[in-house]
Structure 1
Amino acid sequence: MQALMFFIAIGTLVVGLFYTLKTSSVDDIQQAALLPFADDPEAANKITQSTGMTFDKIVNGVELDLTAAPNDSTDSFVA
């Protein structure tokens, strides 16, 4: 019974991966590979110069201001 469940799980994984990759275009996969560099314009320019791949969208990062958050004791982990 455990072997049957294992093979069903592996089969579901393989079918899911096949369907996901089949519906994605080559451009979509390349843009997903570039996402880790999309929030740093300097790194995006270096990647573009070295590989020739262009970014569809470069995200401007925003600094998180933790001091502006309300100081409520219900949302903190205070022992």
Structure 2
Amino acid sequence: MLEIALNSCAVISIYCAVSWCLKHKTEKDIDEASLIPFADDPEVARRVELATGKTVNAVQICEPEPCKPGWSKMEI
């Protein structure tokens, strides 16, 4: 009986904690957060936009600059 009461308290606590964390978030905020995993790959972002109709704010990742001659990483 004690185990059921503790499990119920745990579930209620998690529900209350999640509700409290999300109470000031709008639907737009939650939609944007759900699209963050696709923002770093422009090709995947385009496919997600086509599939869902939602705009993904993709971030263009620039290529690292090539090292100057003589300034490469030293391997030991």
Place the TM-score, normalised by the shorter chain, in its bin.
Answer: 0.5 to 0.7
Q: Runs (4+) of structure 1 moved beyond 6 Å? A: none
3-state SS, counterpart of residue 59 of structure 2: coil
Relative to the length of structure 2, the TM-score reads 0.59
- Structure 2: which 5+ residue stretches go unaligned? 65-72
CA contact (8 A) 1:40 1:61 kept: no
Looking at secondary structure, tell me which structure has more helix per residue: 1
Render the CA deviation track for 1:4-62: whole Å, top value 9, x for unaligned.
32222111011112223322211111112212211111111222234331123526287
Name the Cα RMSD after superposition: 2.9
Bigger Cα Rg = 2
Partners of 2:10 and 2:53 in 1: CA distance: 40
Normalised to the residue count of structure 1, the TM-score between the two structures is 0.58
Which stretches in structure 1 are left out of the alignment for 5+ residues?
72-79
